[in-house]
């Protein structure tokens, strides 16, 4: 039995779930990660320490274990067994928030201190300094590593199969189990991953050009 | 003339390093004060203390009625009255020249965009850069960027301008164009404190020169004192400068 359009359609459906799960991880992770990045550079030491501890714990835990904890662990402590999409989504949001927070903290801190000072000397509030002066410059620096991490998220969604979630890699595995043509099947799976990830890289380059307006 | 700046017995240390050791001086309204001295003499630190960019250990600083030494100081109110221009320009690279200038009036003074744009064009004309309003900082020379930085401070209509070695990063030709702008400001009656290595400029424009040495005010006098130093330290400093 060889690869048929039905198999391709099944794999394509898995690819859609991969895109969906990546979007959940990225949007949720971005919101939480941005708050954490701000907390990491907060003038209040307690806030900085809390955010730092969260990030260290999450970064020190393998994503696979995080996914298991959400899928099986929450059921043990009284929550009914979570649907795979919710467990995988939560796990990936937590995972990406910690990494995005550290990427963005680095970008915020790489804006020269003199820019903060210049904005401060113009009597801008801390919030105005952040929004009008620091963030636009940090965003330019953050574009490439953020998109690089987004591509990592897309590929790491393949781990969601361990909690029974049928995304792109798992769909490929299931098709291979029926037709036993691993090379062909996984070439198709790889092509789908490329189709998802390549536009992200292209978008990153165009975004960098746009944000780089002042340096042309 | 009432003093716009008054430093009284100001001490400041960075760790074990004592940078200011009892600095006192006054600046009257409309006065142009040049602070000179060797690197490490504390002149830039004194300037940064005046604008509350550094917190002093002891002593008193009063600037335009703001008690800078007071822990309850309203820093934003102080900065509305005091403009500062840095050696490295510190323009915001993601904003055009006009946007750099419009930022503080729109954010801090709630000025409308059209009015802020008119103000930006006005201050740019004052520094001779009216045609550069829509350029980005990196498209300008160092001298032009420094003049934009001056214009950006002027847009807030400060009562006092601080200049921290603003020509140190510029070649002689670009230095000249920045000094001309500062000279125009001085002639217009702006109170100014400038930390500078431009002795000729200090002699010509400053109504008072303060020579700092080892964290202290070592010698004070009119610009003419540079031709006739009273202490051997100032004489040595001036001879090294030549």
- What does the pLDDT look like over A44-82, one tens digit per residue? 999 999 999 999 999 999 999 999 998 888 878 877 777
Q: Using 50, 70 and 90 to split pLDDT, how confident is the model at B121?
A: very high
A8-11 own/partner pairs: CB under 8 Å, 24+ apart: A8/A188, A10/A171, A10/A174, A10/A175, A11/A168, A11/A171, A11/A172, A11/A175, A11/A185, A11/A188, A11/A189, A11/A192
User: What span, in angstroms and rounded, lies between the C-alpha atoms of B158 and B150?
Assistant: 11
Query: What's the confidence (pLDDT) of residue B1?
Result: 63
A83 or B48, higher pLDDT: B48
Query: Across the interface, do B92 and A137 touch by the CB < 8 Å criterion?
Result: yes
CATH class of B3-92+158-241: alpha beta
Q: Which of A122, A123, A137 sits opposite B94 (nearest CB)?
A: A137
User: How many domains does chain A fold into?
Assistant: 1
Chain-wide mean pLDDT for chain A?
Answer: 92
Q: Which domain holds residue A120?
A: 5-215
Q: Which of B86, B96, B104 sits opposite A123 (nearest CB)?
A: B104
Average pLDDT over residues A138-143: 90
Q: Which residues of A touch B82 (CB under 8 A)?
A: 121
Q: Using 50, 70 and 90 to split pLDDT, how confident is the model at B241?
A: low
The complex's ipTM works out to 0.90
pLDDT tens by residue, B15-72: 999 999 999 999 999 999 999 999 999 999 999 999 999 999 999 999 999 999 999 9
B242 or A62, higher pLDDT: A62
Query: What's the confidence (pLDDT) of residue A2?
Result: 85
Query: Across the interface, do A136 and B53 touch by the CB < 8 Å criterion?
Result: no
Res B184 pLDDT > 60: yes
Query: What's the confidence (pLDDT) of residue B169?
Result: 82
Q: Which residues of A touch B93 (CB under 8 A)?
A: 137, 214-215
Query: What's the confidence (pLDDT) of residue B85?
Result: 95
User: What span, in angstroms and rounded, lies between the C-alpha atoms of A151 and B86?
Assistant: 41
pLDDT tens by residue, B59-105: 999 999 999 999 999 999 999 999 999 999 999 999 999 999 999 99
Average pLDDT over residues A25-37: 97
List the one residue out of A188, A123, A141 whose CA is nearest residue A37: A141
Query: What's the confidence (pLDDT) of residue B60?
Result: 96
Query: What's the confidence (pLDDT) of residue A208?
Result: 78
User: What span, in angstroms and rounded, lies between the C-alpha atoms of A95 and A58?
Assistant: 6
Average pLDDT over residues A144-169: 92
Q: Using 50, 70 and 90 to split pLDDT, how confident is the model at B242?
A: low
CATH number at residue A83: 1.10.3720.10
User: What span, in angstroms and rounded, lies between the C-alpha atoms of A188 and B127?
Assistant: 63
Chain-wide mean pLDDT for chain B?
Answer: 93
Res A213 pLDDT > 60: no
């Amino acid at each position: 039995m060889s690869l048929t359009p039905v198999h391709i359609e099944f794999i394509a459906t898995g690819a859609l779930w991969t895109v969906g799960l990546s979007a959940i991880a990225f949007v949720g992770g971005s919101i939480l990660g941005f708050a954490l990045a701000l907390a990491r550079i907060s003038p209040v030491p307690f806030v900085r320490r809390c955010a730092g501890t969260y990030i260290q714990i999450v970064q020190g835990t393998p994503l696979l274990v995080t996914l298991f904890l959400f899928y099986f662990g929450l059921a043990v402590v009284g929550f009914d067994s979570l649907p795979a999409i919710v467990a995988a989504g939560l796990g990936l949001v937590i995972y990406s928030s910690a990494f995005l927070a550290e990427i963005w903290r680095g970008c915020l801190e790489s804006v020269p201190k003199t820019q903060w000072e210049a904005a401060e000397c113009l009597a801008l509030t801390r919030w105005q300094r952040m929004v009008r002066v620091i963030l636009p410059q940090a965003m330019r620096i953050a574009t490439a590593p953020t998109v690089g991490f987004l591509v990592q998220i897309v590929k790491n969604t393949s781990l969601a199969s361990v909690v029974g979630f049928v995304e792109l890699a798992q769909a490929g595995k299931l098709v291979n189990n029926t037709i036993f043509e691993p090379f062909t099947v996984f070439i198709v799976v790889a092509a789908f991953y490329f189709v998802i990830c390549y536009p992200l890289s292209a978008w990153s380059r165009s975004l960098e050009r746009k944000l780089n307006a002042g340096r042309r | 003339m009432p003093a716009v700046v008054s430093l009284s017995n100001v001490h400041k240390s960075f760790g074990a390093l004592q940078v200011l050791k009892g600095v006192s001086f006054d600046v009257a309204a409309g006065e142009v004060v040049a602070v000179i001295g060797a690197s490490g003499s504390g002149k830039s630190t004194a300037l940064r203390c005046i604008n509350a960019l550094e917190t002093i250990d002891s002593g008193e600083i009063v600037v335009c009625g703001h008690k800078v030494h007071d822990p309850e100081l309203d820093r934003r109110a102080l900065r509305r009255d005091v403009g500062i221009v840095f050696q490295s320009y510190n323009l915001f690279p993601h904003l055009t020249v006009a946007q750099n200038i419009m930022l503080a009036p729109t954010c801090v003074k709630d000025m409308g965009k059209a009015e802020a744009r008119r103000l930006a064009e006005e201050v740019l004309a004052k520094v001779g850069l009216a045609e550069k309003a829509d350029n980005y900082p990196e498209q300008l020379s160092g001298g032009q960027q420094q003049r934009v930085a001056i214009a950006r401070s002027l847009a807030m209509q400060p009562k006092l301008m601080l200049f921290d070695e603003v020509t140190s990063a510029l070649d002689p030709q670009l230095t000249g164009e920045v000094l001309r702008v500062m000279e125009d400001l001085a002639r217009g009656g702006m109170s100014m404190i400038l930390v500078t290595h431009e002795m000729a400029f200090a002699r010509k424009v400053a109504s008072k020169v303060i020579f700092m040495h080892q964290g202290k005010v070592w010698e004070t006098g009119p610009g003419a004192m540079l031709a006739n130093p009273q202490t051997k330290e100032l004489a040595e400093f001036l001879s090294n400068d030549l």
